[in-house]
A and B are shown apart, each in its own frame.
Chain A
Amino acid sequence: MAGSVRLRPEQHAIVHGYRGGKMGIKAVPGSGKTFTLSHLAAQLVEDLTSRGLTEGVNRREVLIVTFTNTAVNHFRNRIADILQRERGLLPYIGYRVRTLHGLAHDIVRERPGLVGLSEDFQIIDERVTTHIIEEIAKGLLTDYLPVFRFYLSAEIAANEQRLRQMTRNDLSQLAIDLGQRFVKQAKNYRLEPAQIRGMLEPHADAFPLVRFGLAVYEDYQRSLTYRGGVDFDDLVRLAIDALERDEDYLARLRTRWPYILEDEAQDSSKLQEDMLRLLSGERNWVRVGDPNQAINTTFTTADPQFLRNFLNQRDVQDMPLQTSGRSTQAIIDLANTLVAWTTRAHPVPHLRQKAFLEQYIQPAPANDPAPNPPDDDSSIYIHYQPGENITPEYELELVAAHVERFLRQGDGQDYTVAVLAPENSHAYKLAELLKAREIDYEELLRSTSATRQAATILYHVLDYLGAPLNTRTLATLYQQVWRQGPHALALDDRQAGIAFRALTGCREPERFLWPLAGSDWLDDVRAIAQEPDIRDDLEAFRSRVRVWLEATTLPVDQLILTITQACFTEPSDIALGYKIAVVLREMTLSNPAFRLPEFAAELQQISANERKFIGFDDVEKGYEPQKGKVTVATMHAAKGLEWDRVYLMGVSNYGFPSAQPYDNYLAERWFLRDQLNLEAEILAQLDALRLSQPYREGEATAQARLDYAAERLRLLYVGITRARRHLMITWNVGRYWNQGGDKVNRPALALVALKQHLEDA
């Protein structure tokens, strides 16, 4: 039954040619890498099944490792579909799709005792771990103030009053960021606090930043131990420990997973690569990725160099996927121009060598199963004129107006449209403008809106239950939760408004919620008494709130589950409620003093998008852009997706620096001397200590600029290659444009080069 789907020759060579060994697949954007990998997985599952190896407790599985939960779901569904429809096999047997952390979790979960965990160990939620590090770093700041003072600009270090103010705000934040970076990196190197302490011993006063980082790390680990848990970064480290400690266990897992297929390999960190190398035993390991789309290096320990090194190994079969049918020829040319200009003409030699692997996207040949869109419906526009200054507000207006015009004219509704910004904050502002213009849009920002919406509902309930005398929150509960929920009675807007206003004005909430005989507040309000529908609805609301109020004596997880049952009908929302219940319950274990107001505050942070919370909605639905609806996202979040029409905003030297003297970097804080990037410096000190190399202040800062500039060029490449037919690129002078000098942003060098390419063409 195989072969009912047409594969391109280069895809066919991979799916039907691979039988074992190491293979590296460099895949350009739109070359069908998920498609190819899914077919390869199905092919290998079929081989295993035909040999009777996929049954029972000793079954073999093809292991597919990818980067995000959404990708896991995509792969699983796709492979299941191929197995069932095209190959007549059982859909969910013979393979396992995992994120790297999910895989590490599986490995540790199977033998927790090997790494000093009990079988019910907790993975402490990111919210809790962040909170722990915040508290520790702030607490240590006073003791380590001399260290920080050493790095302050002379003007600030001399001003005691200013210093005191800064200790509370900027320095605290710096200490937290340094602590987080240090702990993450130490775990990536699999260094335990005691080992670092041992390394420091011979160096009397050297490595001051490491000493601070170590103090945070020591307290942090003890704090995790106290809670009987581990964090996400521990998972991979512990998985490797387990595999190294027990070679029989490793052998068993190698038998279980005879093939490992790794997606998005450019985003692997050393630790993650080590884990897969161990598991694969360097046997059957297929790594797929695009080093030119490595955009997660700055805030993580990922590095595309690992993939590049793999691809250069002699025993690795090189099978590139270079053909892409995604975009028009003009857009492909623009993306290729960015690669060519950077590798050949960029003013900074390091970026010429390191930013991109020089590979170019090839358009699909004639008769291709997935041809490129026709060139007659293609447009590229770069809003840049030398000497023109565009304020951020103007750029937002410009894009919003442009989007509106496009969607409301001609066949605009037949196109998928996205506006991509380098940062969340800019994207939020645009979303506000679209809302004001009544343009249908959806956000694809840090946490998805459905997750935030569900968290918001739970927040409103807890907010009221924590302070039940507050009729303002009671009215909000009515309006935002009850009226939106499945049990509200049918009222029109006018009636709902009457009820809301009445509740807001209620002075004695106990007479509404628990009326004594003959003293029901509902009887007092004439507007309600006259309309039985409103009264019925408020009575139903009242019964529900009473149940919740009575449930407040229950442990928080049971309270949340009670509310979830009443408020949600979507399975993904109910699952989210369940997860929130479990997470809040864990919080009580480490924070016995937490009560409803604290839990409400946590939910508020999730709902306000200040805390990252992995919901379930994206797991179920994946993300499919809809025609006529605008997607607002960051360029990071857009990876792996495509739209007919794409707007790239904010392409200035702030978001896309080029390691030029006039560039500004977020990581170089204004109050530090010599424009030092202390996050880079603390890691450099750790490296120097670890490798017994000399440490020279400032070198890491300079290197970080180059690395950041390289990553941002790749981010721009990702942005461009999201577009199928139309692409608009804009920039702005930044928030401080009226302060003059280097504070004013300039168009990114790459933007100027691309504009030149368009004009030449």
Chain B
Amino acid sequence: MSHVQQPSRVFLEGPAGTGKTTLAIQHLQSLLQAGASPDSVLILVPQRLLGRPYQRAAYRHARVPGDVTVVTLSGIARRNLERFWPLVAEPAGFDPTREPVFLTLETAQYYMMRFVRPVIAEGFFDSISLTAPRIAAQLLDNMAKAAEAGFPFEQVTDRLCAAWGDRHSSRLLVYRKSEEISQAYRAYCRQHNLLDYAAQLEVFTQHLLPHRVFRRYFAASYQHLIADNIEEQSPVVHDFIRFWWDHWQTAWLIYDTDGGFRSFLGADPASAAELRELCQEHFCLEEPVTMSPEVDSLERAVRIALGGDSAPVEVNPRAALEFTYHTYYPQMLDWIVDRIADLVRDSVPPREIAVLAPFLPDALRFSLQYRLESRGIPAVSHRPSRALRDEPAARALLTLLLLAHPNWGFTAPPPVDVADMLTQVIDGLDPVRAQLLTSIVYRYKHGGALSAFEAIQPPVRERITYQAGQRYETLRIWLQTVSAELAEQPQPLDYFLRRLFGEVLSQPGFGFHTNLDAGRIAAQLIESARKFRQVLYPYDHGEPNWASVGQEYIQLVNEGVLAALYMPDQCEEEVEAVFVAPAYTFLMRDRVVDYQFWVDVGSDSWWKRLEQPLTHPYVLMRGYPAGRFWSEEDEIDAQRRMLYRLMVGLLRRCRRRVYLGTADLNEQGYEQRGPMLYVFQQILQRYGEQEGQA
């Protein structure tokens, strides 16, 4: 299709695997080949990763230099609030004379916790078993949901209370108290020009979007819109699309009819579907281009089992399934890895295999990777994030941070931590020699001082090796010098970490010189410390108390609030490796593989929503009638729809076969009989024998 022939307003819908994105990319290619500038194209996606195919296509086909803009709505909001801050600050209740401070999830949590903790201490949350960081996270989540749905956050409490109804408990009081906390937090943020995610969205949509200066700027920038996966977007994004509707030269909206996987994060497929009426052209793609007849048949059987509409099952779906019962969880993992090894031996490329679980706790990820690696099978796992304190490199840096700041009031790090740190940072020092060195030079009970290598008896020095000793001395003298400097002239902790990394650890002879992964973690730690410091002391006024910033930072790390983000070096789908991921992450990758392994099919987690006592994903949706009770029937219906979406979504992304891992007892020893297991048993009962062969 040429640019001229392209319809200008298209609503493209269909289930996964029918070629919607491929078609939209063709449209983009046509636009570019017809001479449209890449800079004029806005690709609006729920996650930036989903824009990659468009970026690649633009790179290959653009005639005019430039880049398409792949962006999320919050990205647009933040970028433009920075740019146009003086225009909106005052009407939104902020101080236009000072820069806005954008809070990350972590720093927002830090501030919210300041308001949560005293309320916990007063006993208001005694009927809720949640840690302070979790309470803070849920209150922030409520504010974010209100902003995404486009209602004032004060409405959250009324909605939650109505949904709870007259069930007996102190929950209503808890909801009301939560609102008081949120109000106080919000007032504090206004006073200090702090903008969390919810505030960014609100200020953007209510104040900046209608502003004529911004409108002129934005209209001059973009003429074409491609919005993919609109079913995974929140109503405020749909409002944004509507707001600009008459402006676009071309606008393509792409909608996955079985999607809505991010409902917990505010996605609203119903609101997305309403955009259909804006478009002149409406294409519906239905024929799957990816699944084998057996998998297609299995998908139909699942639809029928879960009470959905489907064409009749014609091919026996049994051939698309393989499974066996196991008693123990690790036995199931062994079985999965055995089957993967069989596939790889039969020349299946590892990247055509995905191992999917409802959640991917570290122990599971580690066990799978360990087993796969010991068979020589490459694996790449997606982990959304994990606590910084669990990263060995981060722990080593924090140990050094504490050693350099004895005046911060923490007890000195235990000798085990010091030995670990030395093993990591001194190249060539093994754990036994590190322990030997620590046992001699480290005075744990005397404030954590380190003594000189030279002071060690020569025969023991020889045992440790002079090379390691020299490196230790470099580190020790650096620490001593910097520590003395810091005692006189305190500095922010990120300055210290940056110097430590730059002047010592990244140098030849030190562990981070060659260990790129450790270097990445170090960079993240420095960045996280910098952001934390900037949020606490955004302006150059007064004399900041760096010791207290350092103390609070370390406390947050110890509480597990600060996370190390996982940033893949390259696209996971391009790596020749088995992909291990939580099922929802896989679904949001829009990726199709030949073989899927579903870990622990009996687990309840496959169909359970993330149930959190202080928030509610459905009740806080725009379309949910405010004031309506949320019944047991609603709950079951929502869970069934979710299981349906999940199973159909996964099968639509599988070409050849699904392997079901089942274990009678989960990793804690509890017996499992989740609904997904029953769905498969029903299918097997109908179409084939009950148990597959291990």
Contacts and interface: CB of A to CB of B under 8 A. Distances in A.
Interface of A: 55-57, 59, 69, 72, 90, 92-93, 96-98, 102, 105, 109-114, 116-121, 123, 192-194, 221-222, 224-230, 241, 244-246, 248-249, 251-252, 466-469, 508-511, 513-514, 516, 546, 549-550, 552-555, 557-558, 561-562, 565, 571-572, 574-575, 577-579, 581-582, 585, 589, 592-593, 595-597, 614, 616, 619-620
Interface in B309-325: 325
Contacts of A554: 366, 392
A549 B127 contact: no
A292 to B, nearest CB: 30
B430 interface: yes
Given A225-B126, A245-B167, A557-B362, A575 B330 contact: yes
Interface stretch (B71-79, B417-425, B579-587): B417-425
B128 A116 contact: yes
Given A244-B168, A249-B632, 9 more contacts: A57-B643, A192-B126, A194-B126, A222-B126, A225-B126, A225-B131, A467-B435, A510-B430, A553-B423
Given A57-B678, A468-B432, A565-B370, A252 B636 contact: yes
A629 to B, nearest CB: 25
B667 interface: yes
Contact of B330 (A553, A574, A614): A574
B172 to A, nearest CB: 12
Contact of B130 (A118, A246, A585): A118
Q: Can you list the 8 inter-chain pairs with the closest CB atoms, starting with the nearest? A: A248-B632, A575-B328, A553-B392, A514-B430, A116-B128, A119-B611, A113-B611, A510-B432
Contacts of B513: none
B363 A581 contact: yes
Given A113-B612, A121-B129, A225-B128, A558 B363 contact: yes
B470 interface: no
A407 to B, nearest CB: 34
A561 B363 contact: yes
Contacts of A72: 671
Contact of A245 (B169, B325, B370, B665): B169
Contacts of B530: none
B86 interface: no
Given A57-B640, A248-B633, A579-B669, A510 B129 contact: no
- B interface residue count range (under 10 / 10 to 19 / 20 to 34 / 35 or more): 35 or more
A233 B670 CA distance: 17
Interface in B595-647: 604-605, 608-613, 616, 631-633, 635-636, 640, 643
A333 B395 CA distance: 69
A110 B673 CA distance: 12
A439 B389 CA distance: 51
Contacts of B414: 593, 595
B416 A597 contact: yes
Given A553-B420, A571-B328, A616-B665, A119 B681 contact: no
14 contacts: A192-B126, A194-B126, A229-B129, A230-B129, A248-B633, A251-B632, A510-B463, A553-B395, A553-B424, A558-B366, A561-B367, A565-B371, A575-B330, A582-B668
A153 B486 CA distance: 60
Do most interface residues of chain B lie in helix, strand or loop, or is the interface mixed?
helix
B680 to A, nearest CB: 10
Given A111-B635, A194-B123, A592-B389, A228 B134 contact: yes
Contacts of A468: 431-432, 435
B481 interface: no
Nearest to A508: B463
Nearest to A252: B632
A56 B679 contact: yes
A231 B445 CA distance: 37
A116 B682 CA distance: 34
A513 B430 contact: yes
A90 B685 contact: yes
B306 interface: yes
Nearest to B306: A57
A518 to B, nearest CB: 13
Given A575-B665, A581-B363, A619-B669, A246 B632 contact: yes
Nearest to A117: B129
Contacts of A585: 362-363
Contacts of B669: 69, 575, 579, 614, 616, 619
B191 interface: no
Contacts of A514: 430, 432-433
Contact of A119 (B330, B465, B609, B643): B609
B129 A571 contact: no
A592 to B, nearest CB: 5
A574 B665 CA distance: 13
B116 to A, nearest CB: 12
Nearest to A507: B463
Contact of A555 (B390, B609, B611): B390
A118 B123 contact: no
Given A93-B681, A248-B633, A510-B436, A118 B612 contact: yes
B125 interface: yes
A110 B120 CA distance: 26
A55 B678 contact: yes
B558 interface: yes
B329 interface: yes
Contacts of A110: 604, 608
A623 to B, nearest CB: 17
Interface string B357-368: 001001100110
B370 A562 contact: yes
B460 to A, nearest CB: 10
B214 to A, nearest CB: 39
Nearest to A568: B330
Contacts of A511: 463
Contact of B613 (A57, A113, A246, A620): A113
Nearest to B168: A245
Interface string B456-484: 00000001010000000000000000000
A596 B416 contact: yes
Nearest to A514: B430
B392 A557 contact: no
Contact of A558 (B167, B329, B362): B362
A571 B131 contact: no
Contacts of A516: 465
B433 A510 contact: yes
B673 A96 contact: yes
B490 interface: no
B453 to A, nearest CB: 16
Interface string B666-694: 01111101010011011001000010000
B329 A578 contact: yes
A468 B609 CA distance: 46
A620 B663 CA distance: 13
Given A228-B130, A229-B129, A90 B690 contact: yes
A116 B424 contact: no
B439 interface: yes
Nearest to A101: B670
A571 B125 CA distance: 42
B682 A112 contact: no
Contact of A109 (B363, B366, B604): B604
| Candidate in B306, B329, B392 with the most chain A CB atoms within 10 angstroms | B329
| Candidate in B436, B673, B675 with the most chain A CB atoms within 10 angstroms | B673
A59 B685 CA distance: 14
Interface string B361-391: 0110011001100100000000000000110
A469 B464 CA distance: 12
Contacts of A251: 632
Contact of B675 (A57, A192, A577): A57
Contacts of B558: 592
B507 interface: no
